[in-house]
Copies of this chain bind each other. A is one copy, B any other.
């Protein structure tokens, strides 16, 4: 059995290494690749995917799994086996033909979605989306084996989460967020940041911010891309950001968000490098790191006080002079349609809506033909104004086109986790604000590194949040934090 475990780990290590290679190709495609290379790159990616797929279904894995008695392993070994068995079981349950059909369809559907969004025409995407949903339901049935389809899908992104559990949590959040939002909209808003901010200076300051939040440039790099993202694990974790002369906050907070993801990957115990424990344990926990870096730390009154000075150095006078006004500008609640552009207060309302809609699509309670209307009704109910066009509504996110059902709720779960972690971190580091106001994030990032990030996949998502925060994850701390913060800013 010792041999089987060693062999399985060695095999898995190579698979992880190949997965990193495929990820690096993705990074290259978004940052460096010459535009004419796309067709060839498609074949290269497909060849890598087929190598990875062959390893996932390699018959030796089943033999090794059968030969290993997890109980005889230490805690780390058992956690490795938990991850390996989970991923092997998933692959085994889905018929190869269905997996291939889904891969082909979602690859095409992404292009059809992009065209439909550009044309602001949901109808031209609807038949394809209906097909995706049909196949995803089929896949869900295979995975659920009689259980709840949506729960089975959640398991891909947030092992242990259930639709019912999230429904209860999100159900408790929605009225509180709606009420707070209504109060904020009636109060006087702080001034907006306005002006023209040199993009070169933005990139310089954004790199400083990345280092300020503990991002290790000897194991990473910052480039520009159309969409900010973090890519890679272990010793090579790269991030991207973007610049817009009118909106330096977009650049800075995108960077800090991605740095949160990247630091999680960089700070995992090096003993787990290129093993199943060597990456973030779930989408929700990953998002908890990016969001706590971005919001509870990066958008705090203490830290924005320091950031104001940096921005004055970088851009000279830009109209906002005192820390209070700057803090208000950073956290200003604006009307808008787009989830990814939403502030801390409104963001979860977007996600809660996606969750309800996609769960209804999966149960069959909602048909694709009714989706646009359902979206528009729900949006108007939650936000108080109508969606003006599909690209600002049902067509705004890529997720469903590529078959990501069960992914959206992890965004809000990440915020909930961040709320719990922030409460515990503030207790553990009572003088944090003093450090943040000098641009020193290390008491916070060190605490997160030691209590969350270092563990990688060792504990389950709930376990790692419970151990770090000392409580079962609930929405309470997040809601308290949001109420206090926005009441303060808006004088409620």
Chain A residues close to B by CB (< 8 Å): 13-15, 17-18, 20-21, 24-25, 28, 32-41, 43-44, 46-48, 50-51, 216-221, 234-236, 238, 273-274
Contact = CB atoms under 8 A, between A and B. Distances in A.
A30 to B, nearest CB: 13
Nearest to A55: B51
This protein's copies in its complex: 2
A51 B216 CA distance: 31
A36 B235 contact: yes
Nearest to A54: B51
B221 A39 contact: no
A236 B21 contact: no
Nearest to A216: B36
A40 B28 contact: no
Contact of A219 (B13, B34, B47, B220): B34
A460 B38 CA distance: 30
A43 B19 CA distance: 12
Given A18-B48, A32-B32, A46-B17, A273 B40 contact: yes
A220 B34 contact: yes
Given A36-B235, A37-B236, A43 B21 contact: no
Contacts of A13: 43
A275 to B, nearest CB: 12
A41 to B, nearest CB: 7
Given A28-B24, A43-B13, A236 B18 contact: no
A238 to B, nearest CB: 8
A273 B40 CA distance: 8
Given A17-B44, A21-B44, A37-B236, 17 more contacts: A14-B50, A15-B47, A17-B40, A17-B43, A17-B47, A18-B47, A18-B51, A24-B44, A32-B221, A34-B219, A34-B236, A36-B235, A36-B236, A39-B235, A40-B234, A41-B236, A43-B274
B218 A34 contact: yes
A18 B43 CA distance: 9
Contact of A21 (B25, B235, B273, B274): B25
- Residue of A13, A20, A217 most packed against chain B (CB within 10 A): A20
A332 B18 CA distance: 49
Contacts of A40: 17, 20, 234-236, 273-274
Contacts of A24: 25, 28, 44
Nearest to A17: B47
A25 B232 CA distance: 14
Contacts of A217: 34
Nearest to A13: B43
Given A25-B21, A43-B17, A44-B21, A33 B218 contact: no
